Amino acid sequence: MSHSLNEIEAMSKRAARGAGLAWGLAEEAAKGTRWLSAFSFPGTEMLAGLLALNDRLPAVDFSPATLTGRWSAPAGRMSPLIAGAAMSDCAIRMEAGQVIEMENVSFPLLVVPFAGGAALRLGVPVSVSWEGVKLTTDGQRLCVQGARDAILTMHATQLSCAAPAAMTGQSEPVMRADVDEAAWAKLGEFAHRTYAPATESSRLLGAGSGLSDND
């Protein structure tokens, strides 16, 4: 079904929060999923897969242990949202020519939107590469190199982010996205955890005026 990008962002934020991410990371997850969807990638499927994989587990287990050297996570797999956010936060290092390298990243495509953010900050394109794949973005457009299966992989053993990178054969974002129904339903389940159950008193006290609208 065709969805607006705002719907995708709103659902993704709630779902990420429902799966236990801190609000700030849920916001990143939402912007990233929207960004990928705008480039016709199955962002919602990737996010649903990631949230199911790390559902309510401690973020620290999937975070880079340190931001020096090659980044790796204690649990042996790294969250692309936490690592991607850290990469964007450290974007300035790439300006100095440093390549940010990571090990064992889950759903590596979810790192790419953060490269978009980093590219906007640096003012030069940033590339994200893993086995057989290279995606380069200046924040507005995206160049895709690699087979679709490899791009959508659930796990990358090695991943590197570098700037400046060259943009060739770029694609422009679109304004609508076709969303996989199963992934959407899965995100909806996670999102539902953030909604307070309906109670009579909350219905009465929590919102309205308590007065009749038939006046």
Partner 1 sequence: MTEVSCRDPNLVMRLARLGSIHQSRLSFMRILTRRMAREGWRFEQTAFEINDQGVGHAVYTAHGPERAYSLIAYAHDLPAEKRSDRVIAEAWDATFTLFDGIPTGADIERLSQNIPVQEAGRVKGTELSVSRANRSVRLWEHVVSKLAAGEQPDAAQIDAVGYLMRTTAVYGSGKLGAADREMIADRPEFRVPFQVEMLSVYLTRWFVRDLVQYMADTRAKALGASAAKLDPDLARSMGIGNSTGLGMAPFLLNHPVLFSNWVQVRETALQRVRGVASATADEIAVFNDIFARNKQSVANWHSEHPVQLEKLAALQADVDLISAKLEDEGLAQSSPWESLYQWSTQSLTVEGQEWLVSLMLEPYGDLVDDLADEMSADNTATFRIAGAMTVARLREVLQDVYGWALKTDWSLAANKARAWYVSEEKLEPRLGERFEEPIEEYEQPLAPGRDATQLFAALAHWPEETPVAEFLLRHPEHRHSVRRAQIANRAPYAEIRDNTISEDVLPIDMLRCKLAFFGAMHFDPRSDRWVRICMYGNAPYPEELSTRDGDFWVYPDAQSVAKEG
Binding-site ranges for partner 1 (CB under 8 A): 1-7, 21-25, 27-28, 31, 59, 63-64, 67, 82, 85-86, 88-92, 117-118, 120-121, 139, 175-176, 192, 194-199, 201-203, 205-211, 213-215
User: Measured from the CB atom, is 9 or 151 closer to partner 1?
Assistant: 9
SS3 12: helix
SS3 199: coil
User: Measured from the CB atom, is 37 or 153 closer to partner 1?
Assistant: 37
Q: How far apart are CA 214 and CA 79, in angstroms?
A: 52
User: Measured from the CB atom, is 157 or 199 closer to partner 1?
Assistant: 199
User: Measured from the CB atom, is 131 or 181 closer to partner 1?
Assistant: 181
User: Measured from the CB atom, is 168 or 214 closer to partner 1?
Assistant: 214
Q: State in angstroms the smallest separation of the CB of 132 from partner 1.
A: 29
Q: State in angstroms the smallest separation of the CB of 68 from partner 1.
A: 10
Burial 71-96 (b: 16+ CB within 10 A, else e): bbbebebbbbbbbbbbbbebbebbee
CA angle (167, 47, 2) in 5-degree steps: 80
> What secondary structure does DSSP assign to 8-66, as a single string?
HHHHHHHHHHHTT--HHHHHHHHHHHHHHHHTT--HHHHHHHHHHHTTT--GGGGS-S-
User: Measured from the CB atom, is 86 or 165 closer to partner 1?
Assistant: 86
8 Å CB contact between 118 and 91: yes
8 Å CB contact between 63 and 73: yes
Q: How far apart are CA 112 and CA 115, in angstroms?
A: 5
Beta bridge partners of 145: 134
